[in-house]
Amino acid sequence: MHEVSHQRVKTNGIWLHMAEQGTGPLVLLLHGFPEIWYSWRHQISFLATHGYHVVAPDLRGYGDSDSPVSPTSYTVMHLVGDIIGLLDHFGEQQAFIVGHDWGAVIGWHLALFRPERVKGLINLSVPYYSRNPNAKFAESLIRTYGDGFYISQFQAFSWGNLFDRNREEQKGHSPAPPGMEIIDYLRTLSRLPPWITEEELQVYADKFQESGFTGALNYYRAMDLNWELTAPWQGSKITVPVKFMVGKNDLGFEVSGVRQYVEGNIFRSLVPNLEIVILDGHHFLQQEKHQEVSEEILLFLRKFPAE
């Protein structure tokens, strides 16, 4: 079998970089924040060896893909449009979609907007929520958690440049103490977790050194615009077959009633054809528990008859 290949594809008015391996039914792997295609490195080869055409793009704003400057270019309409363009590029009417974190958000909205293009959906870490008609998402989070919450901090446009190459343009809009940049204020672990090596971490560092973080943070800055644009789908359900995986030790699973929501009836009422798998892991499941996640993905894919 051929090794992982790389190419850039024009879709929805921008160029997306993608990693690709294998032949067979199309499986798109959508990464989250702050990642790139490389977060799926374990699943790419695993699924390709089991007879699938696996494609893992750098989403817009990340890695070697184009990174529009304006936050208004990062709505779910744009993000779903990018993925539709990839399906069209490969001449596929349908594909399996696997998403993690923001990739899961894209997966949910792709299934919401264009269910006929989704053969099956596997999402990690971020469940589907019905749109609250009375409160914009980011605004409600800021009211609940305050200005120190990370999503609150990400709203300031200049903060994205804290990680960018043009350091001289900084204006000090940072939650860190005066005179200190946020990247220097973060706690440094004494050692890496066992699921990632120094060499693997350097792959991410090198790419973000090139691209900066502005594109990645623009996803958060478009949250309330998403709320406005998705009003026509108020109350809609996800009708495609779904497997949802989450780590029981994920901080996001243990706060604000998320565990109760995932294990309760409301989630299942919004996603009627749903299977839930709770793994002994944290947030970056596809890396920390890569073998288990790969096998769970394969079990789901094999439920669908070969064409």
Q: What local confidence, expressed as pLDDT, does residue 188 receive?
A: 74
Instruction: Name the active-site residue from 58, 82, 101, 224.
Output: 101
Q: What local confidence, expressed as pLDDT, does residue 31 receive?
A: 98
Identify the band that residue 264 occupies on the pLDDT scale cut at 50, 70 and 90: very high
- The string of pLDDT tens digits covering residues 231-246 is 999 999 999 999 999 9
Q: What local confidence, expressed as pLDDT, does residue 153 receive?
A: 78
pLDDT of 213 above 80? yes
- The string of pLDDT tens digits covering residues 139-185 is 888 888 777 777 877 887 654 454 443 333 333 334 545 555 455 66
Classify residue 190 by its DSSP letter.
Answer: S
pLDDT of 128 above 50? yes
For residue 101, indicate whether it is catalytic: yes
Could you tell me the two tokens for 169?
């343009």
For residue 53, indicate whether it is catalytic: no
Q: What local confidence, expressed as pLDDT, does residue 177 receive?
A: 55
Q: What local confidence, expressed as pLDDT, does residue 167 receive?
A: 36
What residue spans define the domains of the chain?
A: 5-302
Please list, residue by residue across 65-91, b when 16 or more beta carbons sit within 10 angstroms of its beta carbon and e when fewer do: bbbbeebebbbbbbbbbbbebbbeeee
Please list, residue by residue across 255-270, b when 16 or more beta carbons sit within 10 angstroms of its beta carbon and e when fewer do: eeebbeebeeeebeeb
Could you tell me the two tokens for 98?
């696997």
Looking at residues 285-295, what average pLDDT do you find? Answer: 98
Q: What local confidence, expressed as pLDDT, does residue 117 receive?
A: 98
Q: What local confidence, expressed as pLDDT, does residue 184 receive?
A: 63
Looking at residues 197-202, what average pLDDT do you find? Answer: 96
Rounded to a whole number, what is the distance in angstroms from the first to the last CA of the chain? 21
Distance CA 98, CA 42 (A): 13
Superfamily of domain 5-302: Alpha/Beta hydrolase fold, catalytic domain (3.40.50.1820)
Q: Closest Cα partner for 184 from 170, 198, 201?
A: 170
Q: What local confidence, expressed as pLDDT, does residue 147 receive?
A: 72
For residue 290, indicate whether it is catalytic: no
pTM for the predicted model, two decimal places: 0.91
Distance CA 105, CA 158 (A): 25
Instruction: Name the active-site residue from 109, 220, 224, 290.
Output: 220
What value does the mean pLDDT of the chain take? 90
Q: Which residues make beta-bridge pairs with 260? A: none
Instruction: Name the active-site residue from 31, 53, 100, 283.
Output: 283
Could you tell me the two tokens for 37?
């295609």
